[in-house]
Amino acid sequence: GWGGERGGGSAPVDEKTGGSWSGSYATSPNQAALYRLTGDLHPIHIDPEVALANSFERPILHGLCTLGIAARMISEATGTHPANLTQLEARLSSPVLPGTVVEVTANTTSAGLAFEASVGSTLVLKGGRAAFA
């Protein structure tokens, strides 16, 4: 981390009020290189030596890219335009390697949508919440 306070644990999960869904998104092997165009130039996302020095087998996908994938999938699943997103939060719980498949599951709650994402059996986003106007 950045050396500051870690923050509280996950917020309590809202009671389910509606349907649930799941979907998958196959990341591309060059997705981290493309996401660098947004301005996040940290070498852990592109340089194999830096990734290895940080205990990763190879460069990892940007956390905000993973969160964006989940947001896009939720938007598409609910038929809501992405510009109507009013809330998006989740805890990054494990890195995603470019070229892997991200699975997102979500439930409609009284506060919007609760979601999580995984790669295989590894949870990569937890405590996710999203709301649309």
What pLDDT was estimated at residue 17?
56
What pLDDT was estimated at residue 105?
97
- Give the largest Cα separation in the chain, rounded: 47
User: Please, what CATH class does the domain formed by 17-132 belong to?
Assistant: alpha beta
- Provide the annotated active-site residues: 40, 45, 60, 63
d(CA 36, CA 38): 5
Identity at 38, one-letter amino acid code = T
Tell me: pLDDT of 14 over 90: no
Question: 23: helix, coil or strand?
Answer: strand
Residue 13: pLDDT band (50, 70, 90) is very low
Is residue 118 within 8 Å of residue 100, measured between CB atoms?
no
Identity at 12, one-letter amino acid code = P
The domain locations on the chain are 17-132
Q: Is 32 exposed, middle or buried (0-12, 13-18, 19+ CB in 10 A)?
A: buried
The length of the chain is 133
Average pLDDT of the chain?
A: 89
> pTM to 2 decimals?
0.83
What pLDDT was estimated at residue 111?
83
